[in-house]
Amino acid sequence: MSIFNYITIAAMLLMTLLILIQTRGASMGAGLGGTGEVNMTRRGTDKTIFQICIITGIVFIASLVMGILK
């Protein structure tokens, strides 16, 4: 196994964890026509988790591509 495989697995696990701990902007009722705020500004730790999730996704894609091109 190459280093890219380990990086891909680690990025996948971290990204999954980050996605699961993010707060949701609206409840199920808001998605079905109920009241709820559509526009949400991310602040504090929610914004940090969101940014780390994006970076982890980029690392995940890059490690996949580098593993294929290797």
**For residue range 19-42, what is the model confidence (pLDDT) as tens digits?**
999 876 555 555 555 555 566 677
Q: How far apart are CA 55 and CA 28, in angstroms?
A: 28
The pLDDT of residue 44 is 85
Q: Compute the mean pLDDT over every residue in the chain, rounded to the nearest whole number.
A: 82
Q: How far apart are CA 23 and CA 50, in angstroms?
A: 10
Number of CB atoms found within 10 A of residue 42's CB: 14
The pLDDT of residue 33 is 55
The pLDDT of residue 43 is 81
pTM listed for this prediction = 0.71
Q: How far apart are CA 51 and CA 25, in angstroms?
A: 16
